[in-house]
Amino acid sequence: MGLLERENAAILNACLGDLARTTVRAFRGSLAQAGVSAPLYLTQNDGTLMSADRAERYPVSALCSGPTNSMRGAAFLTGLTDAVVVDIGGTTTDVGALRRGLPREASMTLQVAGVRCNFRMPDVLSVGLGGGSHVLDDPLRVGPRSVGHELARRALVFGGDTLTATDIAVAAGCADIGDRARVAHLTGDLVARAAERIHEMVEAAIDRAKPAAGDIPVVLVGGGSLLICRPLQGTSEVISPRHAEVANAVGAAIAQVSGEVDRIVDLGRRSREEALAEAQAEAIARASASGADPATIHLLEIEEVPLAYLPSSATRIRVKATGDLRDG
């Protein structure tokens, strides 16, 4: 029944409680100072929104919501509903698969810092590659160390003294930022090898994130997406949409509200149709209660899993409904 995983998730959620309350209080204070009286919602890690009150009670629901926002933004900016999204930031590259416009959830046992937990998380692979990644030669290494948010001060093209992946992109002609003259001293061999290593790292991550074998569309987002300037193996096309650098903010702005039901029912005592209808109605009601416009609510997922380890006809039913955020 996953007792240990459930215990661990409850412990982690409780540990994050004070931080969640402090964060939400700070957001509310900032909104009040700005004269904004609208209700406060936060993004959660399934690509939908939750009220600030719920975020205070269940902060684990926000874990990994950053990459999730980028994936939702990528879907909105391109119109694609099934693709792999590569979000390249300053320190890491997060790669995940879109399924019906939402991030695919992890199906295997979830581990947070090596501890098994049972809460929902997107299936996102993170690798130590970003615009601020250190580049070292002999032997060649790109990342995982990074200058992070100090990129605009420490990269060579901005007058710094650290060779970064951004410097390689500028020297290779992939990007036109900063002062290219500051990387003119880099040898062509180093630039070519480092640029190729960057592309190989992204290609390897895409292969691991693919939902199935075969080529698939890839969407590049994030400020570090300028590191990629050639076709990537294993992809049918590589798309870098307009406003790709702010896909994270776009994903948060267009997110919908959801309602979810996840329960075990005994189909020996009631019909499958009755159990499904009840779960669907409850999921829709929960979405509406969470702030979704009833006119826009639709069923997104319906899942049935027979449980062989329980007596009778025990079945796990999971239903998810989503809708647009209701005005007011």
| Rounded mean pLDDT, 6-11 | 92
Q: Band the pLDDT of 328: cuts 50, 70, 90.
A: low
Q: What is the pTM of this model?
A: 0.84
Widest distance between CA atoms in the chain: 77
- What pLDDT band is residue 122 in, cutting at 50, 70 and 90? confident
The reply to whether CATH 1.20.1260 applies to domain 66-246 is: no
Which tokens sit at 244? 């790709």
Share the mean pLDDT of the chain: 91
Q: What would the pLDDT profile of 254-273 be if each residue is shown by its tens digit? A: 999 999 999 988 888 888 89
Per-residue pLDDT of 151-189, as tens digits, reads 999 999 999 999 999 999 999 999 999 999 999 999 999
Phi, psi at 109, each rounded to 5°: -60, 130
Section 49-75 average pLDDT = 91
The 10s digit of each residue's pLDDT in 90-115 is 999 999 999 888 888 876 667 888 88
Contact indicator for 117, 8 with CB cutoff of 8 Å: yes
pLDDT-derived band at 118 (thresholds 50, 70, 90) equals: confident
pLDDT of residue 1: 64
Query: Rounded distance, CA 276 to CA 269, Å?
Result: 14
Give the pLDDT mean for 58-71.
90
Question: What's the average model confidence in pLDDT over 285-294?
Answer: 92
What tokens appear for 200 in the block? 């190989």
For residues 223 and 231, what is the distance between their CA atoms, to the nearest angstrom? 18
Q: How far apart are CA 259 and CA 65, in angstroms?
A: 17
At 224-263, the pLDDT tens digits run: 999 999 999 999 999 999 999 999 999 999 999 999 999 9
pLDDT at residue 243, rounded to an integer: 94
Q: Is the pLDDT of residue 147 over 90?
A: yes
SS3 content of the chain, % helix, strand, coil (to 5): 40, 25, 30
pLDDT value of position 108: 63
